[in-house]
Amino acid sequence: MADLDTKSHPRQGGPGKYVYLVKSRRAGGLSLGINLNADKKCNFDCAYCQVQRSSGGIPNPSIDEILSELEPFLKSYQQAGHWQGMQIKDFALAGDGEPSLFGPLPELLNSLMKLKTKYQLSAKIVLFTNGAKITRLDLDSVWPQYFGGNNQVWFKLDFWDQPSYLRVNGAKGDRGQVLEKLLHLGQRYPLTLQACFFKPEALAEVDLWAAQAWVDQLKGLLNQGLKVEKLQIYTLARPPKEKQLAPYSLGELNQIGSLIRSQLNLDLALYA
Ligand code: SF4
């Protein structure tokens, strides 16, 4: 689940192989990214994916490997009170694939919550997902403490019907399965929804029909009890997998934003 800001802003280096630092406009400061999918495997094959898979991946980290990179950094951060003048705003569980596929995800979330307490960090944990295994049973016992502790799940919802699901996300199966997973978690806890809008080619016009269909789908989900904390609409920021795709300008993205705001009373952020 490619993270908007890890892809649109260069990684600043960082404590190690799996933990990296990003100056993030989304987070409003320093984001501490953890790449749970160093093997670059994902259940989606998005047309706009910006993960460079040609170079191949490396084995995914163990919890110990992640913590051995994270803890020394957090110790020095705590002693200094900042990193290069910036505060850590969040721990972003993203990377080069889908984080809910990461085997020991429940243990990692519990470890990160303990580290937040140990180092007295107000930073939130943000788990990015396309929903693949977000309903796995071993996560169920983690959610109450997770959501109760100022942590969030950012759920990717780019499609608006079955053809767009196949086209945009390059996924297999029925989009209804994704929507069921979204509702399974989102009826209990408020989620942030993320959608990437882009043009099929540079000279294409804004596709307000697709945006309207996306809004209609979301209205249906809200009617079924989906809780939405925030919407994030963004566009391409680095070369996508399909080279002919083109980003929207801020003005074009604002047209989509206006359409959404005119029909949904939700907190909406746009990133062009
Ligand atoms: S294929 Fe899609 S879900 Fe998977 S990493 Fe790329 S953008 Fe994220």
Whether 148 contacts 185, CB under 8 Å: no
Q: Give residue 16's pLDDT.
A: 85
Q: Give residue 256's pLDDT.
A: 98
Closest among 75, 74, 136, 146 to 110, alpha carbons compared = 146
Categorise residue 69: left if φ over 0, alpha if ψ from -120 to 50, beta otherwise: alpha
What the block records as the tokens of 39 is: 């093997």
Determine the Cα–Cα distance for residues 253 and 269; give it in Å rounded to an integer: 11
Is 178 close to ligand 1, i.e. is its CB under 6 Å away? no
Determine the Cα–Cα distance for residues 209 and 9; give it in Å rounded to an integer: 30
Q: Can you count the helices (H) and strands (E) in the chain?
A: 9, 8
Whether 229 contacts 267, CB under 8 Å: yes
Q: Give residue 4's pLDDT.
A: 44
Report the side by side order of strands in the sheet with 88-94: 19-24, 29-35, 88-94, 124-129, 152-156, 191-196, 228-234, 268-271
What would you report as the CA-atom Rg of the chain, rounded to the nearest whole angstrom? Answer: 18
Q: What is the pLDDT of residues 208-231, one digit of tens each?
A: 999 999 999 999 999 999 999 999
Q: Give residue 186's pLDDT.
A: 98
Residue ranges of domains in the chain: 4-271
Q: What is the pLDDT of residues 162-198, one digit of tens each?
A: 999 999 999 989 999 999 999 999 999 999 999 999 9
Is the whole-model pTM more than 0.85?
yes
- The number of the ligand 1 atom at minimal distance from the alpha carbon of 196 is 7
DSSP, residue by residue, 30-51: EEEEEES-TT---S---TT---
- The number of the ligand 1 atom at minimal distance from the alpha carbon of 2 is 8
Is 67 close to ligand 1, i.e. is its CB under 6 Å away? no
Pocket test for ligand 1, best of 5, 39, 98 (most atoms within 8 A of CB): 98
- The CATH homologous superfamily for domain 4-271 is Aldolase class I (3.20.20.70)
Closest among 77, 161, 147 to 113, alpha carbons compared = 147
Beta bridge pairs of residue 195: 233
- The number of the ligand 1 atom at minimal distance from the alpha carbon of 95 is 5
Is 196 close to ligand 1, i.e. is its CB under 6 Å away? no
3-state class (DSSP) for residue 89 = strand
Measured in Å, residue 72 CA sits from the centre of ligand 1 at 30
Q: Give residue 9's pLDDT.
A: 47
Q: Mean pLDDT over residues 63-92, rounded?
A: 95
Is 240 close to ligand 1, i.e. is its CB under 6 Å away? no
Sign of CA dihedral 129, 135, 140, 143: positive
Determine the Cα–Cα distance for residues 267 and 272; give it in Å rounded to an integer: 17
- What type of residue sits at position 191? L
Determine the Cα–Cα distance for residues 168 and 158; give it in Å rounded to an integer: 7
Q: Give residue 167's pLDDT.
A: 96
Whether 94 contacts 33, CB under 8 Å: yes
In the predicted model, is pLDDT for residue 8 greater than 50? no
- The number of the ligand 1 atom at minimal distance from the alpha carbon of 37 is 5
Mean pLDDT is lowest, of 3-12, 138-147, 169-178, for 3-12
| Residue nearest atom 7 in ligand 1 by C-alpha distance | 49
Mean pLDDT of the chain: 93
Whether 126 contacts 1, CB under 8 Å: no
| Residue nearest atom 8 in ligand 1 by C-alpha distance | 1
